[in-house]
């Protein structure tokens, strides 16, 4: 079996961590993350909780990797995007009502 090259990415609000590793063919997403060392530097990552992706598409931890795959570890959302849009829309309506009767 030969080795393949993969990247493991974890983005924080102020920095992006990127690990490039050679792993054996047949390596899973979870194994590559463990091999990368990102879990040592960021113990808050929980592979049972954090969603994972390959090039922006959700994937499972047991998915087998291909050469040059980019594994992304997603953090939980701080705020619900739908709720934020709803609040912005409400604020816009309030501003329009108070426009002075033009």
State the pLDDT at residue 87. 79
Please compute the mean of the pLDDT values over residues 39-50 and round it to a whole number. 92
How far is it, in rounded angstroms, from Cα 70 to Cα 65? 9
Please compute the mean of the pLDDT values over residues 10-32 and round it to a whole number. 93
State the pLDDT at residue 85. 82
What percent of the chain shows pLDDT beyond 90? 65
Model pTM score: 0.73
**Among 24, 26, 31, 25, CA closest to 8:** 31
CATH class of segment(s) 3-77: alpha beta
């Amino acid at each position: 079996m030969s080795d393949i090259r993969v990247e493991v990415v974890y983005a924080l609000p102020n920095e992006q961590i990127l690990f490039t590793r050679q792993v054996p063919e047949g390596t899973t997403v979870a194994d590559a993350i463990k091999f990368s060392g990102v879990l040592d530097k960021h113990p808050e990552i929980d592979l049972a909780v954090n969603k994972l992706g390959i090039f922006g598409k959700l994937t499972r931890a047991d998915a087998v990797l291909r050469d040059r795959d980019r594994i992304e570890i997603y953090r939980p959302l701080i705020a619900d995007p739908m709720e934020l849009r709803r609040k912005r829309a409400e604020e816009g309506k309030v501003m329009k009502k108070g426009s002075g009767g033009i």
